[in-house]
Amino acid sequence: MKALELKNVDKSFKKRRGEVVRALDGISLSVGKGEVVGILGPNGSGKSTLVRVLSTLVLPDAGEVEVFGVDAVRHPKQVQRMMNRVSVEASFFKKLSAMENLLYGSKLYGVTSREARPRIGEILDNIGFDRKRATEPMEHLSRGMQQKIALARALLTSPVLMLLDEPTTGLDPRSKKDVQAFIRKIRTAHDSSILLCTHDMGEAEELCDRVGIMVDGKILALEKPDELKRRYATNGRVPDLEETFMAATGFSVEEASAEKE
């Protein structure tokens, strides 16, 4: 059984001027149990819409979405219990402390404060977060520290499927390495299946078993990083992942993002 399977998923949105934008265009992909699959794409490629559909925040217009064999459209509550999502726009109660936010999150999943506190301490240590800072209001923490708390919150329930939408965007190099190391640890310790949406080529190559390239709501290719790069080899030279992205799309990630602005 696949951890995640999508078949021919479409999603369109209507803009104010009546223009229809097709955010997902016939998306089909799967994530095996314990596998990390990365989706590379610029801003506006459809990555965040894909994550919202998978997390049942947005209904697809067409197609099938299954999580461990359960229809996500028909049984969203059942699917939500098996997954958690970390996005670049993670929201918090900014006046409350990091610890208060985490304890509140645990209660939503039926975990008491007494049970949650040792688990929270362990997670904070693993992601390189100073426990002393956990008593400070979220609004006093840096963007990188807030993102670590978002990751910690997602891990409180030990989800079997993690949806990571640009989890290290805006982080300083040290925080980025801490988060990436913890993602590897999650996968090893919990056999979690992970879908990672990113525009960081190095992150995708380092963390993912397979990497897909997504542009204009379509996945152009989805293969092991080395196989993907070999597909675009020229004159015996195998390109790096950024060059592979450019060969597949005709743009660099920055240029493709600019096209969407």
**Nearest-angstrom CA–CA distance, 182 and 187:** 9
Which run of H or of E encompasses 28?
Answer: strand 20-31
pLDDT of the residue at 89: 63
**Nearest-angstrom CA–CA distance, 53 and 5:** 12
pLDDT of the residue at 255: 59
Q: Which residue has the higher pLDDT, 83 or 27?
A: 27
Answer yes or no: are the C-beta atoms of 192 and 34 closer than 8 Å: yes
Q: Beta-carbon neighbour count of residue 202 at 10 Å?
A: 13
Please tell me the pTM assigned to this model: 0.84
Helix (H, G, I), strand (E, B) or coil at 231: helix
Q: What is the mean pLDDT of residues 96-103?
A: 90
* Of the listed ranges 35-39, 99-103, 108-112, 119-123, the one predicted with least confidence: 108-112
Q: Quick one: what percent of the chain has pLDDT higher than 70?
A: 94
Q: What is the pLDDT of residues 167-217, one digit of tens each?
A: 887 777 887 887 888 788 878 777 789 999 988 888 898 899 999 999 999
Q: Given a cut of 90, is residue 67 above it in pLDDT?
A: yes
**Nearest-angstrom CA–CA distance, 44 and 47:** 7
Q: Given a cut of 70, is residue 253 above it in pLDDT?
A: no
| pLDDT band per the 50, 70, 90 thresholds, residue 261 | very low
> End-to-end alpha-carbon separation of the chain, Å?
40
Q: What is the mean pLDDT of residues 222-249?
A: 89
pLDDT of the residue at 211: 95
Q: What is the mean pLDDT of residues 136-157?
A: 83
Q: What is the mean pLDDT of residues 82-108?
A: 83
Answer yes or no: are the C-beta atoms of 121 and 153 closer than 8 Å: no
Mean pLDDT for the chain overall: 86
| pLDDT band per the 50, 70, 90 thresholds, residue 90 | low
Answer yes or no: are the C-beta atoms of 57 and 6 closer than 8 Å: no
pLDDT of the residue at 65: 96
Q: What is the pLDDT of residues 211-235, one digit of tens each?
A: 999 999 999 889 999 999 998 888 8
CA atoms within 13 A on the CB side of 202: 6
Q: What is the mean pLDDT of residues 13-34?
A: 89
**Nearest-angstrom CA–CA distance, 166 and 173:** 15
pLDDT of the residue at 88: 64
Q: What is the mean pLDDT of residues 123-144?
A: 85
Q: Given a cut of 90, is residue 246 above it in pLDDT?
A: no
- Alpha helix positions (H), the chain: 47-54, 76-80, 98-108, 113-126, 143-155, 173-190, 201-207, 225-231, 241-249, 253-260
Q: Which long-range contacts (CB under 8 A, 24 or more apart) does 231-235 make?
A: none
